[in-house]
Each structure stands twice: as C-alpha cells, then as structure tokens.
Structure 1
Amino acid sequence: MVMFKRFLCVVCFSFISFFAFSIDFAYGLAAGQMYRVVGLVEETVSVGGQSYFARVLNKSSISVEKAEGNRVFCKAVYVTAEEFSGLSLSVFNKQEDSVSEYWIDRLGNMEIDDSYRYPIVRNVPLFPGRELEAGDVWSASGYEVHYFDELGIKEPFKFPVNVSYIYVGPVSVDGNVLHRFDAEYPVFYRRKAEVSSPDAPVEIRGYSRQEHYWDVERGMDMFYREEFYFALVLNNGAVFEFDGKANAKVVWASPLDKAAVVDAVEKDIDRLDVPDASVESTEEGVKITLDNIRFPPDSAVLLPSEQDKLKKIAEILRKYPDRDLKIAGHTALAGTAEGRQKLSIERARAVAEFLLSLGVRSPEQMLIEGYGATRPVASNATEEGRKKNRRVEIIILEN
C-alpha cells in the first residue's frame, strides 16, 4: 500500500525576546531532553480509477544527545502503523520502525543523510532569525524525502519545496496563549535524470498547507495541522493521488521508573491472582507476558476465561494512563510461517480490541504486532514449551 506518511521534524523552541507579541523564534533544544511526537494521517489514495481510505499512525521518540555551538545532535526512533479494522473498534497494526540521527541548529537547518528515512519533511519549519510581529511573512527552502518500498524502489525520491510562512499571532486555546504561524508550499518537481525502473517516481505535483501552534512560556510546539494533495507520476505513466490531512502533537513525559513499575505490577498480579502472567523490564519499557493465552484452534476469538484474565490486566494498565501500549502476539511452531504470522497478528488484535472495549486506552495509544513463531522462549518439542510460546505480551512503553 503506497502512502504519504507525513513525518515532519517537530521540535521544541525557545524565544529570545518577548514584548507585545514580538517574537524571535529559535530552536532551543538542550542535551538530555527527550520527547515524542504522535501524529495521525487520514488520506484517500487513488490509482487507476480506484480509491481507498487509509489512516496511518505516526510516532517518533526523540532524544537530544549532545549540543555543539548553536546546534544539537538528535537520535530518533520513528514508528508507523496502519489502521486494522475490526468489527466495532479499530487498532493500529505496526508496519515499520526506523532510526535516524541528525544535527539541527537554532533556526531549523538540518544536517541528515538521505539514507535515513525519517523525518520525511525537512527544514520545515525554518525560522528567519529576526523578531516577528503578527502579519509578518518570510520564506525559506525545505525539502521532502520519500521511500517507496511498496513499488520495489530502493533509492529515495527527494524534491525541494519553497515554503511561504506567516506569523498569524497569539491565539487562545483552552485558556492558554499560543502563537500560530502558517506554512504553505506548492510542489511541482520532475526528475531530470533517467530512471531504469518502470515503477520509479519521476514527477510530483501538489501542495501542503500547515498550521503550527507554539507555547512560548513552555518553549515547545503544542501541535500542528496539515492539509495536503500530491499526485505522484511513475515512469510507466501510472499516477497515484494522495488527498488528505494530518495532525500531530508533542508529548513530554518523565522517564519511566521501570524498577518501581515492575515491582508494583508484580504485586498487582499476585493480588489479583492473574494466572500464567509475569512481568519484566525491557529496553522498550515494562513487559507483561501472558503465557498460554487460550483461543479455539486456529481462531482469534478470546475465550471467557481469557477475557476474565484481561479484565484484571486492564485494572493494572489503568494505573499508567499516560503510557502507550504495544500488544505483541506469538504462536507455537505449528502450520505454515504465513499462517502463524497471520494468526499472531489476529490474536494480538483480539487482545487490543478487548482492552479498548474496557476503555483502557484510545486507539492512538495502542499498537499491535505479530511475530508468529519467530521468537520462541521455550522448546516447541514439548506441550509445556508450546504453552509458553503461545503468548501475548503487553508492553507499557517507555516513550
């Protein structure tokens, strides 16, 4: 499925002067800071006279590693997930994760190798380095970099954009004063070099219109909205159209005290008498493992006993409402690899949708992933081992 995922480089900023809403915007990241950006893309994709609607969840976790002069070095993990439609609820099925490293200076200029897939939109926003008052405008150059693995294309499709900005001024949002500026750019780009693959993109046209909202007192970007349309022309003449909207917000969270959470969850598992459950600290966060989670053969329908177990787990998860969850499904070694993979995703989805029905999280706070039988924790030669491998993991994520 070909999609425009719309990862922008959203970071916090500080201001140098503030008087009568005259502001000199500048990025103000400091070493040791960590934050994440959660975004949702809703788009209609059209090709060959057929259209489909897609919802894509984008999450990025950014860590500022060090500062050097007027710039900082960042490491980021980007996760994308597509909506997985169920009978009454929807969860997002994780598609990929990717790591990036880049430098960014006070005005927003990035130094990043094109081999990194994200962020897709770069040098946007880019600040002018002077004080701005409501109504002031400026322009700057940015660019976008897209990968189209779905088409079998390995090299990136990179094109420049000339962005027009306007500082709209202060606005009141939920009783808080934020500062809005808009960014807009048209796109018309045609590759000059010849490409050999018939599926390679050679031309793109369209536009992006963005609204950004900044909290000056806290020195951070609260959220942005985007409307976009792009028509992508392939070398074989096929045209993909993407018509949609996106939004994202920045979330700051204190580090997860994994040791304390593990201890508290262990006590809750004992208190609630949750069978076949264990908890441990991992790099991702705190993982609750449910061994031998039972379904009818080759089915993803939760048995009543498992629903009772998950109701107890839900009580535990409600204690950490600000932390996102990942639900991972695993199977024993039976059937085909394709069948095991499909079943593990469906069972993770069943658990996620049941937790959603209990109001544990919103769909945007939960991802599912299936591993089939690729990550066994015991031998599949014995029934006891297979019980351990038929498991679902619920990870309370660090960031």
Structure 2
Amino acid sequence: MKKILALCLLCILLLANQALHGESFRVSYLPGDKFRITEKADLRRYEDGRFIGLAYREVRGVLDVLAGNEEGGASKVTGDFYVFEETKHKSINVARRIDQVVKVNFLIKENGQYVVAENRGYPSLRSFPVFPAGEIEQGEKWQDFGERVVEPFRDGRFTRVRFYCDYQYYGTDIIGGSEYIVLKAQYAMRYKPGQDPYGDERIRGISGKHLVTIYFDPNLQRPHFMRDQMDEIYQLADGGTIAYKGFILTWFDNIVTMDRSHLVEEVREQLKESGVEDISVEEKKEGVALTLNRIHFVADQAVVLPQEKERLKRVAQALKKIESRSFLVVGHTARAGSVESQLTLSVERAKAIVDYLVSQGIEAKRFLYEGRGASESVAANDSEENMARNRRVEIIILED
C-alpha cells in the first residue's frame, strides 16, 4: 500500500513539475534539410461588395537549408516557389498548370523570425509563428510582429503588411497518430499607403482579420500545419473595393532526398531495354530530366502525331515505377511566330503530353506543367534541323 501511495505521489510531482516549467519553443531547420511548404487558398471574392466568384489557388515551395548558419543560429534557406494557375473550381485529381516559378533566398531565426532581403512575394507569410525566449506554460499568451505579403489583383504586384499577432499555447492534439502542440493566433490587417514604399499604389488601405490554428511539431521543432480563417478588404485608389473571405491551409513537410545519379542510371536502363530512342536523361537543379528530343506534333498545334505514342507509352511505363514524386512537364518550341504564340503553343503541347501520360495510368495530380516558348533554345533557329531540335518536351522527376 505504501508503495502505491509513493508511486501516486511521484506521478503527481512529475505532472506538477511539467506544468510548472512548461515548454521551451525554438524553430529548427538543419543544414542539408529539404522541406516543402504547400499553401492552398479556398476563397470567395467580392468586388464593391458584390460576390464575384470562388478563387482556388495553390502555391508550393520546394526549399533547401544550406550548410552554415548565420550568427545567432539563423538557417539559410533557398529554393523555388511554384505558383499554380488560379481556378474557380476546387479540383483534386488534376494536373496543375504553373503560372510562375519564383526563386527565393531568406533566413529563419531560432525564434521563428524571417529575414527576407529581396521581396519577391514568397513566402507570403513570414515570421509566423514567433516565440519568446524562455518557457511557455499551457494557456499562456504572448505577442509579436509578423508580415503578410498580399497580391489582390493576382498580377505580380506585391504589398508587404506588417501585423501584431496575439498567440496562445492552447494544448496538444493527435493527428495521424502523432502528437502536436496546438497554438491559437489572431491578428488584424491594417495598411495605409506608403507603409510599404514598394507596395502596389492601387491599394489605398487594407483592413481585416485572421484567426489561425497552428499545429507545431515538438520533435522536428517547426510548424506542421496551419488553418487560417481570413477576411480581408482592400480599399482601392479608384474608390472601389476588393474582398477575400475563406480559408488558407498550409502544410510543412520534409522531403526525402533523391539519389539522382542512381535514378538517372535506372531510368536510362529501363528506356534502353524498352527500345526507346532519342531521349536524354540527366540531372538538373529540380531533379532528373527526361528530354524527348524532336518530338512530333501536328504543325502549329498541340496534337501528338501517332508515331510518337509508342515512345510515350514506354516513357509512361518507366515513370510508373517511380513512387512519391511529382512530374514537371515543360514544353519548348522553335522561334517561329510571336513570342506570345510560342509560349501559348508550348503550354498546350506540355498539357497534351500530360494528358497522354495520364491516359496510360499515371495519376493526374502527380503532374505539373508549364511552357517556356523559345526562351531556352538548344540550337540556333537557322535551319529546319535546328528548329526540330528546339521542339522538345522535358519531363522532370522533381525532388519534391
């Protein structure tokens, strides 16, 4: 009986000690880490108070933590943000068109603060969450500054808005069998012209609020998931208004590093055994690229000629063996016609290749696609032979 009482007393003391000391938070990204930030916005758009329609948008950042930290433990982060085409319908199992690829470099400090030297719009939410020094007990509240970058016209004109956020350590929750620390945060959006000297001059003022639930991974020491219920109104210089209401969901995921040299050899061997010709396989910054050289379409159209389908079928068989990776399909054209027509045709041809590969049994949601027109020619456009070399499609196995 005495032993049972002693054990009970010990448990009470341990729980009391844990409650007394609370949690000490820090944000940790180690050199060599590779991670992904995926932001999905599900919003309703209003203009001058009238409902205009739905707006779904996804942005995906594929980021590397560089070797060597700055003074004070800040992690150096570099990578690309893929900005997908905004749609009016929420789609799940579809290929996504890339509107823009944005290269970024920034620092993340141990307390969660971001340092972004060159503002290119991404990441759009910075210094969030931020933690105070010392331990935080459950239920405790604190405040700190953060920054949100907005782009109400969806045309690449960004405005930085600094905000003051209220945080609370709410407790813990289980998601997918793992325990996460739950934080509640809320902040108001307030902006006047001139607060961002490089901001969009069409914006005269911003007001609104954000209510955010943050799931923080205590093992990795970084955010895992955030759910943001938002309501923003933009007062415009012409007297009108734009408003967005809805949710923004953000995931932070680790990326398993790809053995690129092994994958190159493996894919080359598979294509060789299948008798596929005129495809080069090589490492690129984004991953491993399969380049379909001299691919044949109907002239000035995005219609694949019948003789190409056997080659594409065998490429699809090789891609099916690659698990848990996305495929970026990039269309290229020769320099013929206007720059605009080249870009349009290259996008359409990339999409045509995606559609055929999907018809061979690869999930559409694994594909991203874009066109680069004739901006990345591999030969001078001075002969039919060289122009044929420039008409190509890349399928990049992304390290994402």
TM-score range normalised by the length of the shorter chain: 0.7 to 0.9
1:149 offset after TM fit, Å? 8.0
Which residue of the other structure, out of 101, 108, 114, is the alignment partner of 1:110? 114
Partner deviation per Cα, 1:292-345 (whole Å, 9 max, x = no partner): 323333332344544443332222223332222211001223333222211110
- Counterparts of 1:335-350 in structure 2, within 5 Å, are 335-350=337-352
3-state secondary structure, aligned to 1:210: strand
Question: What is the alpha-carbon distance in structure 1 between the residues aligned to residue 147 and residue 92 of structure 2?
Answer: 40
Partner deviation per Cα, 1:93-119 (whole Å, 9 max, x = no partner): 222233333333221123333634322
3-state secondary structure, aligned to 2:25: strand
TM-score (normalised: structure 2): 0.83
User: Is 1:39 the equivalent of 2:43?
Assistant: no
Question: What is the alpha-carbon distance in structure 2 between the residues aligned to residue 309 and residue 302 of structure 1?
Answer: 11
Question: What is the alpha-carbon distance in structure 1 between the residues aligned to residue 350 and residue 147 of structure 2?
Answer: 38
Question: What is the alpha-carbon distance in structure 1 between the residues aligned to residue 118 and residue 153 of structure 2?
Answer: 15
Which residue matches 1:267? 269
3-state secondary structure, aligned to 1:27: coil
- Counterparts of 1:1-399 in structure 2, within 5 Å, are 19=18, 22-47=22-47, 49=50, 51-65=52-66, 66-77=68-79, 78-83=81-86, 90-113=94-117, 115-146=119-150, 157-191=159-193, 200-361=202-363, 363=365, 365-399=366-400
Residue type at the aligned position of 1:265: V
1:89 offset after TM fit, Å? 6.6
Question: What is the alpha-carbon distance in structure 2 between the residues aligned to residue 388 and residue 304 of structure 1?
Answer: 19
5+ unaligned residues in a row in structure 2: which ranges?
1-16
Question: What is the alpha-carbon distance in structure 2 between the residues aligned to residue 264 and residue 84 of structure 1?
Answer: 37
Question: What is the alpha-carbon distance in structure 1 between the residues aligned to residue 164 and residue 262 of structure 2?
Answer: 49
1:67 offset after TM fit, Å? 2.0
1:151 offset after TM fit, Å? 6.2
Residue type at the aligned position of 2:292: L
3-state secondary structure, aligned to 2:85: strand
Residue type at the aligned position of 2:135: E
1:377 offset after TM fit, Å? 2.0
Residue type at the aligned position of 1:104: I
Structure 1 contact 107–126 (Cα < 8 Å) conserved: yes
5+ unaligned residues in a row in structure 1: which ranges?
1-17
1:224 offset after TM fit, Å? 1.9
Residue type at the aligned position of 1:396: I
Deviates more, 1:35-44 or 1:321-330: 35-44
Residue 178 to residue 29, structure 1, CA distance change in 2 (3 Å):
same
3-state secondary structure, aligned to 1:354: helix
Structure 1 contact 43–242 (Cα < 8 Å) conserved: yes
Question: What is the alpha-carbon distance in structure 2 between the residues aligned to residue 72 and residue 197 of structure 1?
Answer: 27
Question: What is the alpha-carbon distance in structure 1 between the residues aligned to residue 315 and residue 333 of structure 2?
Answer: 20
Identity percentage of aligned residues: 27
Partner deviation per Cα, 1:334-386 (whole Å, 9 max, x = no partner): 333222211110111122233345453452x4321111222222344443333
Question: What is the alpha-carbon distance in structure 2 between the residues aligned to residue 313 and residue 177 of structure 1?
Answer: 41
Deviates more, 1:54-63 or 1:189-198: 189-198
Partner deviation per Cα, 1:152-186 (whole Å, 9 max, x = no partner): 85xx5232212122222221112222222122212
1:82 offset after TM fit, Å? 1.1
3-state secondary structure, aligned to 1:170: strand
TM-score (normalised: structure 1): 0.83
Structure 2 contact 160–199 (Cα < 8 Å) conserved: no
Larger relative strand fraction: 1
Residue type at the aligned position of 1:111: V
Residue type at the aligned position of 1:74: K
Structure 1 contact 57–83 (Cα < 8 Å) conserved: yes
Question: What is the alpha-carbon distance in structure 1 between the residues aligned to residue 200 and residue 57 of structure 2?
Answer: 27
3-state secondary structure, aligned to 1:71: coil
Residue 302 to residue 248, structure 1, CA distance change in 2 (3 Å):
farther
Question: What is the alpha-carbon distance in structure 1 between the residues aligned to residue 78 and residue 139 of structure 2?
Answer: 34
Residue type at the aligned position of 2:39: G
Residue 311 to residue 137, structure 1, CA distance change in 2 (3 Å):
farther
1:265 offset after TM fit, Å? 0.9
Question: What is the alpha-carbon distance in structure 1 between the residues aligned to residue 395 and residue 308 of structure 2?
Answer: 14
Q: State the structure with more CA Rg.
A: 2
Between the two proteins, the alignment pairs up a number of residues equal to 379
1:91 offset after TM fit, Å? 2.6
CA RMSD of aligned residues (A): 3.2
Question: What is the alpha-carbon distance in structure 2 between the residues aligned to residue 335 and residue 163 of structure 1?
Answer: 52
